[in-house]
Amino acid sequence: TLEYKCPSLYVLEGSRYISCTDGQWTSPPVCLVACTASEEDMDRNNIELKWKMQRKLYARSGDFIEFQCKRGCVEDPASSPFRVQ
């Protein structure tokens, strides 16, 4: 039996244990990659993280991140939602 672990901020999908029986391993899990919100992309779009206390640029797969317009900017009615998963 072998135990899988994922790097920080990655999410393990599937069983964390695999076993070898008669020379065949059971299906291994996968590590879902962390999502990023780059400062460059945010600057280019005049947005910032909504919650100032969180300087989080990385999020686990499935987490929600909220943005807001930078001071002095207003939301374009045709823009994408400011809460993304």
Which pTM was predicted?
Answer: 0.54
Q: Which of 73, 75, 79, 55 has the alpha carbon at shortest distance from 65?
A: 55
Helices (H), 1-85: 39-44
CATH code for 35-85? 2.10.70.10
Q: What is the pLDDT along the chain (85 residues), one digit of tens a residue?
A: 999 999 887 889 999 999 999 999 999 999 988 777 778 888 888 888 887 655 556 677 778 888 889 989 888 888 877 888 7
Question: Three-state SS for 67?
Answer: strand
Tally: H helices and E strands in the chain: 1, 11
Q: Where are the chain's structural domains? A: 1-33, 35-85
- Dmax of the chain from CA atoms? 66
